[in-house]
Structure 1
């Protein structure tokens, strides 16, 4: 069975020992993706919508690296620190998935690795066969 990994170069990947995403056959698993900017800082502190959108941008790149896209996503898990912002997180989710809505869960958690992070997203996908 073919196995392929992708990395986003987030500092946590090497410190903790994980990859952004992994493809095993047709199954793709994207690690919890936080809203980090290009320098490793938190993207848009305090802005639930912008942070969610940033998570999906990072996820999109990982899916592309693994020969897939958002239409292949079958499940999302959104871990949020303030569930009262559900509509803002949900708007970014809906915009990203559009005509291909996956099964989804949003749960409130006590905190994430950086207190300025409002959301972290995991994704599972079933991709087309590689030729």
Structure 2
């Protein structure tokens, strides 16, 4: 085949392909218009349980964006940031849940609204001895989550830290 014949066949193939594409285009009445929707930007709402301590360490205890609330890990401490219930993981766990309940109440929530709970502990065996206490916290349904054994927490006296995620439709 000569180059001119190949060129003519190529052009013919391209034109034929274009005509098939044009045939498959929807008619005007089949074309749907796209409606532009403006999405409102949610403003984060931060909460500080112990403002002086949280500012000193550089974190917020919780933040709410829309229907979602993220709650930082709660540890067993007093209002000055000193560890409490040293050496007693059961009481430390109860103190964590007490602080978490205060944060939940601030947002009009209960433990029934919790969808994720992550527990960090420096002594998994001891935690498992007292994990049954959680049935007093989660009366309807347990949330999803993880239990993680860790080498250490923020201060050596802390044996447990619990963080939560909440979903609360407005």
Give TM-score scaled by structure 1 length: 0.89
How far does residue 89 in structure 1 lie from its aligned partner after superposition?
A: 4.4
Q: Which has a greater percent of strand?
A: 1
Task: Using the TM superposition, name which of 70-79 and 92-101 deviates more.
Answer: 92-101
Report how many aligned residue pairs link the two structures: 129
Q: Which residue does the alignment assign to 1:62?
A: 103
| Separation in 2, partners of 1:96, 1:109 | 23
Q: Distance in 1 between matches of 2:61 and 2:130?
A: 21
- On the 8 A contact 2:75/2:160 being kept in 1, the answer is yes
Given that 1:76 and 1:122 are in contact with CA atoms closer than 8 Å, whether structure 2 keeps it comes out as yes
> 1:48 corresponds to which residue?
89
Unpaired segments ≥5 residues, structure 2: 1-41
User: Against the structure 1 CA distance between its residues 27 and 124, is the aligned structure 2 distance closer, same or farther, given a 3 Å change threshold?
Assistant: same
Specify the structure having the higher radius of gyration (Cα): 2
Partner of 1:86: 127
Between 1 and 2, higher relative CO (CA 8 Å, sep ≥ 6) is seen in 1
Distance 1:108 1:13 in 2: 24
How far did 1:86 drift? 2.7
CA shift for structure 1 position 67: 2.1
With the length of structure 2 as denominator, give the TM-score of the two structures.
0.70
Gaps of 5+ in 1: none
| Between structures 1 and 2, the one with greater helix share | 2
